[in-house]
Every structure is written in structure tokens, then in C-alpha cells.
Amino acid sequence: MISLAVASQKGGVGKTTVAVNLAYAFAKRGWSTVLVDTDPQGSVGLSLSERARRSRGFFDCMEEGISVDECVLATRLPELQILVAGRSADPFVRKASELQGTVPDVVASLGQRGHDLAIIDTAAGLTGYTADVLRASDFVLVPQQAEPLGLRSVPQMLKAVQAIRNEGHHLEMAGILLTMVQSDVEDSANVVRELRQIVPPQLMLHAAIPRDSIFLRASAVGVPLGLLFQNPPAPAIIFDQVAAELESRIELHSESPLPAQDDHTRLMD
Ligand SMILES: Nc1ncnc2c1ncn2[C@@H]1O[C@H](COP(=O)(O)OP(=O)(O)OP(=O)(O)O)[C@@H](O)[C@H]1O
Ligand SMILES: [Mg+2]
């Protein structure tokens, strides 16, 4: 299993939105995906359903030592399962000595369930549980809001990832994903241009998430954009592009052999 944390120093940049929609996109592409909420705010479960709101989750595994198998919830998509934040979610991080579980234990237990991918939503900031999640993850995806103040946070994030690697952890950058881009607003377009100039191209995803009121509507009813209407709106399709880009970046390869060069599936026989 590959673990991909979605993290940023700043709050409100679209981490949860990206985590939910990306997990849905990966699942639709056939990967067995588990979406994990490690934010004590519990945003993933809050909007999903009454059952998700009441369910036990990540913090119950950490604090009470409950097994992840008892907590992981099925969804309408067989390839997508969810570990919500849970009932023990508490904004005050307890001392490690008071906990029954550790983040690496929870991630390892998810790996034993045979998922291809864990997408882990985190609380804003790079301390506490979020730092532990980053230490236990293979990759981190950094949503970056397209606003002038956002420019400063990129070097800080890269430094934080390097500091975790210096501790001997495996964490790699999956990439920086621009969010809330308003291409018709000059300030937003300037930030996108500047970021693409200062960030090494291998770190920046080509796909970018536009600012669109459809996201508010989807989060109000608690669904990924792809489930909002029978014909998903344009921003929903972008997460498919993000998933496709990430597949090669995080080396998520299918076990089944690729067809030979001239052996494409034919549209008609
Ligand atoms: N591309 C977008 N266009 C418009 N609104 C968006 C977009 N992405 C997210 N939002 C909205 O912005 C708000 C913050 O998004 P979200 O909760 O995903 O951010 P977050 O980084 O997870 O926040 P936190 O740091 O509090 O966990 C939400 O109301 C969400 O619906
Ligand atoms: Mg969030």
C-alpha cells in the first residue's frame, strides 16, 4: 500500500476537498483506496452521513487501541473505504504515553487490509498528529492556494519535508497542487505564474483546481463532485487528471501487464 498524506501549513487551502475528491477519483480508476481523516475537526465524516458521524475512526484506533478493521466504513463504490476521525477526536493532542496506538501502527494495519492506496487528510500545520502522519507516509501532496500570501508557504513546506527526511523517514513530495485558482482574476493568475517560475517543474502538478461555487454545494451535501449530478461538472474531471498525474509520481502501477504497443483495446471489432 502506498500512503499519500494531504498536508499544508496553512488552514483552509482545500486539503479536505482535495483528499475526498482525489480518493473518489483513484477509486473510480480501480485502485482500492482508503480515505483516512486524521484531523480532529473530523471534516470528512461530518458531512458524509449520520453513520459516518457516529462511527469510530482514526482517533479511536490511536486512543483506545481499537483495530482499524472495526472502524473502516464501506461506501457506494466498492473500491473506496473510509476511516473517519472518530468519536475520540479531540483537539488537544494527548501525550504519546497515554495513547494505545501509534500512527505507523494504524498505517501498517491499513496496509495489511490489502488497499493499494491510503489518502490521509491532515489538520493544518506541521506539528502534532500531522507531523506523525508525515513521518509514517510515503508521499505528501501539498495543496497550495493561488493567493499572494501563499507564495511564502512553499519554501517552508519543502523545508519541513526535508527535516522529516533528515530524521531518517522515507517521505517524498508527491507534488504541489494549485487550488482555488481564478484564472480571470489578475492576482490569482500572477501567483500561478510566479509559483510555476519558482517551484521546480518536477514538484508542480500540471493540473490545477479552479475556484468554483460547486465545491461549496458538494461539501454542503457531503459528496465528492463526481456524485453531485449524473453528468459530473468540469471541476470533477480535474481530479481524474490529478490522479493520473500522481499515479506515475507515486509509482502506483497496475499488476496486470500493459498491452503490447499495437495491442490497444479496439473500439469495434
Ligand atoms: N476549489 C474550490 N473552490 C471553491 N471553494 C473551495 C474550493 N476548495 C475548497 N473550497 C471550500 O473552501 C473551504 C475550505 O476547504 P477545505 O475544508 O477543503 O480546506 P482545508 O485545507 O481542509 O481546511 P482546514 O485547514 O480547516 O482543514 C470549504 O468551505 C470548501 O468547500
Ligand atoms: Mg480540512
Per-residue pLDDT 10s for the chain (269 aa) are: 999 999 999 999 999 999 999 999 999 999 999 999 999 988 888 777 888 888 999 999 998 889 999 999 999 999 999 999 998 776 566 666 778 889 999 999 999 999 999 999 999 999 989 999 999 999 999 999 988 877 788 889 999 999 999 999 999 999 999 999 999 999 999 999 999 988 888 999 999 999 999 999 998 888 899 888 888 899 999 999 999 999 999 999 876 655 555 666 777 87
Task: Indicate if ligand 1 lies below 6 Å from the C-beta of 216.
Answer: yes
Q: What spacing in Å lies between the alpha carbon of 116 and ligand 2's midpoint?
A: 23
Alpha carbon of 214 to ligand 2 centroid (Å): 17
- Report CA dihedral (228, 230, 236, 237) to the nearest 10 degrees: 170
Beta bridge partners of 81: 34, 74
Best mutation site among 9, 10, 17, 181 for ligand 1 pocket (most ligand atoms within 8 Å of CB)? 17
pTM above 0.85, yes or no: yes
Protein residues within 5 Å, CB atom, of ion ligand 2: 15-16, 43
Amino acid 48: pLDDT: 78
- Ligand 1 contact, 11 CB (< 6 A): yes
Domain ranges in the chain? Answer: 2-249
Pick the ligand that lies closest to the CA of residue 12.
Answer: 1
pLDDT of 262 reads: 61
Provide the pLDDT for residue 63.
87
Find out whether the beta carbon of 16 lies less than 6 Å from any atom of ligand 1: yes
With a 6 Å cutoff on the Cβ, whether 209 touches ligand 1 is yes
Please report the pLDDT score of residue 263 as a whole number: 62
Pairing verdict, β 80-83 and 73-74 = antiparallel
215 lines ligand 1 (CB under 6 A): yes
What is the whole-number distance in angstroms between the Cα of residue 225 and the centre of ligand 2?
16
Atom number, ligand 1, closest to the C-alpha of residue 39: 27
- Going from the Cα of 192 to the center of ligand 2, the distance in angstroms, rounded, reads 22
Q: Give the architecture-level CATH label for domain 2-249.
A: 3-Layer(aba) Sandwich (3.40)
- Name residue, grid cell 471534516: 43
